[in-house]
């Protein structure tokens, strides 16, 4: 047994220090970044924000919406082969911004082979790949990643999750991975730290793994733990090339999954009609509309996810995810604007002309308190 005494940081342990800047407006900031990769022959020009490949946030609708911001979507792995073929055949324009997710099972690899063969036969381009397993520390994972790299030399491969530099290097060097996904236990609906005691504070994980990846020409994606736009800025400041979001996009209109709806009257005012709209949804005098109210959001290793996709929790496993009911948050578009607006503003505070410059200009200050919470509970 050994103890590491150095302080390891999370997003809420720091603030970013402002510094002299010659940017006069947020509109001067470029949120698009150009990437080239250690293995993929493809290049990528994008806003480096990714929707997580959870079965709520990694939806086709999300991909269409995020592509308007040139942001990325990692689709969840539960779409059927035919659904994927159909989507990619009809959305070739956004293909470079969409990653197909797979695990390491033979079934997943066979599915991707089938989808990609069909697309190639129809003279269509193939999308990039996200190889996702909860614990990226296995030899088998590295080998499987390398098998996929050999099959598709041109595509961008993102794989994870890990939290340490040596495994980041291993995945890039021996797994043929371009972007390593960093984060264990930090997710909003993740209970790994509660069940296993395993984890690593997210900001320190990305600082340490980012250094390792960049030394090899690779990149990292900070996955999990962003709760507010400031956390995304801190992730970029701390060396992340990409930031993946689950909980922050969950509950926005482009999510798939089990929504709870309410019927409300279109013609009457909101407050006085709250009762009527419940008991008279089909009365022609009161035309009604269906509105999203809550979304069931759960971890991909939760009991709910395993029951839905794998027919239950295997007897040698435990659930490592939470299931929550979250209120509808409005449009994905609004949330994305808020996030990109936050990044632009942060850039102007530190004199960074682009997201690429952000980490070079970042000086973190360790703090005990990140912001004033007095009126938080009155927030509308
Ligand atoms: P969030 O942005 O919600 O904080 O984190 C999203 C990330 O949490 C996902 O991209 C994924 O890496 C992780 N995650 C999703 N579901 C689960 C789960 O059931 N268990 C664990 N341990 N992590 C999860």
Q: Tell me if 157 CB under 6 Å of ligand 1.
A: no
In the structure encoding, which two tokens stand for residue 33, read together? Answer: 């970044």
Write down the pLDDT at residue 376.
Answer: 86
CA 129/CA 84 separation, integer angstroms: 13
- Identify the helix (H) or strand (E) that includes residue 364: strand 364-366
Burial call 138-165: b when 16+ CB within 10 Å, e when fewer: eeebbebbbebbeebeebbbbbbbbbbb
- Show Cβ contacts of residue 110 under 8 Å, excluding neighbours closer than 6 positions: none
Kindly state the percentage of the chain with pLDDT values over 90: 84
Length of the chain: 380
Report CA dihedral (76, 77, 83, 85) to the nearest 10 degrees.
100
Degrees to nearest 5, angle at CA 162 with 244 and 335: 10
Distance from the alpha carbon of residue 18 to the mean position of ligand 1, in angstroms: 31
| Atom in ligand 1 nearest the alpha carbon of residue 160 | 12
In the structure encoding, which two tokens stand for residue 342, read together? Answer: 């936050």
Give the CA distances from residue 80 to residues 53, 107, 274, 330, 368, in Å, rounded to whole numbers and listed in that order: 15, 12, 40, 28, 48
Mean pLDDT of the chain: 93
Question: 3-class DSSP state for residue 159?
Answer: strand
Residue 190 is among the residues annotated as catalytic for this protein: yes
Q: Which of 79, 80, 62 is nearest to 71 (CA)?
A: 62
The better pLDDT of the pair 145, 267 is held by 145
Q: Report the first-to-last Cα separation within the chain, whole angstroms.
A: 49
Angle, helix 106-121 to helix 139-151, in steps of 10 degrees: 10
CA 128/CA 146 separation, integer angstroms: 15
Interval 253-298: pLDDT, tens: 999 999 998 777 666 655 544 555 555 556 666 666 778 999 999 9
CB atoms within 10 A of CB 326: 16
Q: Tell me if 134 CB under 6 Å of ligand 1.
A: yes
CA 178/CA 217 separation, integer angstroms: 9
State the average pLDDT over residues 105-134.
96
Distance from the alpha carbon of residue 244 to the mean position of ligand 1, in angstroms: 10
Write down the pLDDT at residue 72.
Answer: 98
State the average pLDDT over residues 88-114.
96
The better pLDDT of the pair 351, 314 is held by 351
DSSP 11: G
CA 267/CA 134 separation, integer angstroms: 49
Q: Which of 46, 190, 209, 265 is catalytic?
A: 190
Q: Do 59 and 254 touch, CB atoms closer than 8 A?
A: yes
Q: Which of 103, 226, 240, 139 is nearest to 182 (CA)?
A: 240
| Atom in ligand 1 nearest the alpha carbon of residue 227 | 4
| Atom in ligand 1 nearest the alpha carbon of residue 186 | 4
Q: Which of 68, 80, 190, 86 is nearest to 135 (CA)?
A: 190
Distance from the alpha carbon of residue 134 to the mean position of ligand 1, in angstroms: 9
State the average pLDDT over residues 357-367.
97
Write down the pLDDT at residue 171.
Answer: 98
Q: Do 183 and 222 touch, CB atoms closer than 8 A?
A: yes
Distance from the alpha carbon of residue 119 to the mean position of ligand 1, in angstroms: 30
CA 224/CA 222 separation, integer angstroms: 7
Write down the pLDDT at residue 287.
Answer: 67
Comparing 28-32, 77-81, 235-239, which segment has the lowest mean pLDDT? 28-32
Write down the pLDDT at residue 315.
Answer: 84
- Give the DSSP per-residue string, 225-270: ---SHHHHHHHHHTT-SEEEESTTTTTBTT--S-EEEEEEESSS-T
């Amino acid at each position: 047994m050994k103890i590491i005494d150095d302080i390891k940081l999370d997003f809420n342990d720091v603030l970013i220090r402002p510094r002299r800047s010659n940017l006069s407006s947020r509109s001067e900031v470029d949120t698009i970044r150009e990437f080239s990769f250690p293995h993929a022959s493809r290049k990528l020009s994008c806003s480096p924000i990714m929707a997580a490949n959870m079965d709520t946030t990694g939806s086709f609708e999300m991909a269409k919406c995020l592509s308007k911001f040139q942001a990325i979507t990692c689709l969840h792995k539960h779409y059927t082969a035919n659904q994927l073929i159909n989507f990619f055949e009809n959305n070739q324009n956004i293909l470079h911004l969409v990653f197909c997710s797979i695990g390491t099972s033979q079934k997943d690899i066979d599915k991707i082979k089938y989808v990609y063969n069909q697309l190639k036969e129809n003279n269509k381009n193939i999308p990039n790949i996200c190889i996702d397993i909860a614990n990226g520390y296995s030899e088998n994972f590295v080998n499987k990643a390398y098998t996929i790299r050999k099959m598709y030399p041109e595509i961008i491969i993102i794989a994870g999750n890990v939290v340490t530099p040596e495994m980041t290097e291993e995945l890039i060097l021996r797994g043929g991975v371009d972007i390593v996904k960093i984060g264990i236990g930090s997710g909003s609906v993740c209970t790994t730290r509660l069940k296993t005691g395993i984890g690593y504070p997210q900001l320190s994980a990305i600082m340490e793994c980012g250094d390792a990846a960049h030394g090899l020409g690779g990149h990292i994606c900070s996955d999990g733990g962003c709760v507010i736009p400031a956390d995304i800025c801190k992730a970029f400041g701390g060396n992340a090339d990409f930031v993946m979001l689950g909980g922050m996009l969950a509950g926005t209109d482009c999510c798939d999954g089990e929504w709870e709806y309410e019927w409300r009257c279109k013609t009457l005012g909101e407050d006085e009609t709250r009762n009527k709209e419940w008991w008279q949804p089909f009365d022609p005098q009161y035309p009604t509309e269906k509105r999203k109210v809550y979304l069931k959001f759960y971890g991909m290793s939760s009991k709910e996810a395993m029951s839905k996709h794998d027919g239950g929790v295997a007897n040698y496993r435990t659930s490592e995810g939470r299931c929550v009911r979250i209120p509808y948050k409005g449009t994905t578009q609004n949330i994305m604007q808020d996030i990109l607006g936050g990044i632009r503003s942060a850039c102007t505070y530190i004199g960074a002309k682009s997201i690429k410059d952000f980490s070079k200009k970042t000086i973190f200050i360790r703090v005990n308190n990140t912001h004033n919470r007095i009126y938080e509970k009155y927030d509308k």
